[in-house]
Structure 1
């Protein structure tokens, strides 16, 4: 397995890349990792993330983060980084959408790391194509951070929407680039319903008019952008399937698994005080605020993360990731389900 994306599938690159004594990283502090590993393990969750469950399904070891510089890359590598964007970060800095320097961890950068690592994986073009034809690639999730940058700059839905085709194009270009390298099985996850995240709900709490929220309590405008992204991404995948008929490109639905839990929480064992609250946080309506984020001294988590959908305001609990992984492997949340593909992995 070779994976590219952001914090939803990162297995350690962010905490390595962002380590800075002047600006502490909280994601490598307890209670991160409390559920499965018993200690912080690079995942921005209480335990395993989606690609961990996928790796376990195929009998592969949990993927190492590429920045760990492991000598053993024979079973795959994870290039995903928390905060990664599909569009190069320079675009957002030049556009003055951020007032600080972003980590240089965009999709293009991750693809560059992949190219640098290729000599450790294979020696000739033929050998590389053979190895990659038997691998499972993940490109995404990507896009949430691109749109968050624009939302957090105080922009409106009409100002965020024009970025969607550009983001989708970058993802499609990355998929095509990997296909040309020899990839035959590629999973492309869409966006989750980010309008249901404690972070966005808190930051946009001034939008207190009823029409801004759906019946679950999520932000309509943010989720409309996510659905627009997913719709265009499906179209782009369809075009790539026509162009490369011998390649299996799987659209992995990240949106509807979350919505299905939110709509019927008790069925999934979600019994927290509010389905939209974070498990780990510093208080407030959604248990998230900028001055007391998960991992900071004194910030605690509820004892049973599996009773929550959201872990720290942005990311999901291991229990949620397990449910999503199962839906991608067996259906109904993947088109086609990973385990129904005619893959040499199976």
Structure 2
């Protein structure tokens, strides 16, 4: 039975355009990394990439309960209501989601995730030398590398076999280092004080990357820091009535300049790694500008999200109409 009211042709056309555009955004580029032929992904990092190590280590963790994971109606161990960047990278590469290393029942055929929520680049002992004592976890980048070494030591038959297995894998070395600065800032240190830590944090990341290359990695991404001056926690902590302290996106300039400094030194370190290891591909992951792009396009992206919801609603409507025998006039 047809509806007594017909929709205006322009409205129907607009809906079709919306659906087509949303399909282009979400589907056509779904496996854009498949041409790279990654056969595995290995992730080091902190809460930005942790898919459950923190929860495996501490079942009472707040990340083990809602609202974390509410998109899936259950907590997944991710510090998110849904998927993480590494999940989308895996999807784009045509690889299953990475199980956390500490999940002994996990599937590790396509790589695994060593990232741990709250992790730092430097060890707690090294941070203590900078008078940074508020470090809620003992898991640092070095500890994650030990996990990686232990895993490869039990799955590879010698270095030659390891190099062969890891030659087609993607290694994500971070994002890491952000918590080193977070803990220092939250402890009350000034931007200038925390800035003195940056060279050592970057050197720690560089040495970790060299160690990963030593495991046979040939394709690595080393992400930089985010524009922390745009983060709500910092906007709240350092809020001021001085309008000149903010940029056009209402981010704190001085804190963003701090992130730029870290990223500058990190890119220098990556350039040095490329010279030392010309046969390996080491790429800087520009999370800073990616974040700013997302922030500047927030209204448009929110619209796309609503288009996606509209698409799902229309699909359900069509299916319901078929099941109830609705026909064209």
| TM-score, scaled to structure 1 | 0.72
Superposed counterparts of 1:220-299, under 5 Å: 220-269=253-302
Question: CA–CA distance in 1 between the matches of 2:56 and 2:87?
Answer: 19
Superposed counterparts of 1:286-325, under 5 Å: none
Map Cα deviations across residues 1-25 of structure 1 (whole Å, 9 max, x no partner). 11100111110112223445xxxx2
Question: CA–CA distance in 1 between the matches of 2:47 and 2:129?
Answer: 24
Q: Does 1:7 align with 2:40?
A: no
Residue-pair matches, total: 268
> 2:167 — aligned with what?
133
Map Cα deviations across residues 215-244 of structure 1 (whole Å, 9 max, x no partner). 222122221111111111111111111111
Question: CA–CA distance in 2 between the matches of 1:94 and 1:162?
Answer: 12
CA displacement at 1:95 relative to structure 2: 4.1
CA displacement at 1:267 relative to structure 2: 2.2
Question: CA–CA distance in 1 between the matches of 2:42 and 2:70?
Answer: 26
> 1:42 — aligned with what?
77
CA RMSD of superposed structures (Å): 2.2
> SS of the counterpart of 1:186?
strand
Q: Does 1:73 align with 2:113?
A: no
CA displacement at 1:94 relative to structure 2: 5.0
Contact 1:186 1:249 in 2 (8 A): yes
Structure with the greater alpha carbon radius of gyration: 2
Relative to 1, partners in 2 of residues 1:31 and 1:102: Cα closer, same or farther, differing over 3 Å?
closer
Question: CA–CA distance in 2 between the matches of 1:270 and 1:113?
Answer: 42
Superposed counterparts of 1:148-167, under 5 Å: 148-167=182-201
> 2:56 — aligned with what?
16
Q: Does 1:172 align with 2:209?
A: no
Q: Does 1:62 align with 2:102?
A: no
Question: CA–CA distance in 2 between the matches of 1:92 and 1:204?
Answer: 23
CA displacement at 1:71 relative to structure 2: 5.8
> 1:32 — aligned with what?
68
CA displacement at 1:195 relative to structure 2: 1.4
Contact 2:167 2:217 in 1 (8 A): yes
Runs of 4+ in 1 over 4 A off after TM superposition: none
Map Cα deviations across residues 162-192 of structure 1 (whole Å, 9 max, x no partner). 1111111111111111112210000111111
Question: CA–CA distance in 2 between the matches of 1:223 and 1:180?
Answer: 33
Question: CA–CA distance in 2 between the matches of 1:153 and 1:199?
Answer: 14
Map Cα deviations across residues 264-293 of structure 1 (whole Å, 9 max, x no partner). 322222699xxxxxxxxxxxxxxxxxxxxx
Question: CA–CA distance in 1 between the matches of 2:85 and 2:256?
Answer: 21
Question: CA–CA distance in 1 between the matches of 2:65 and 2:232?
Answer: 20
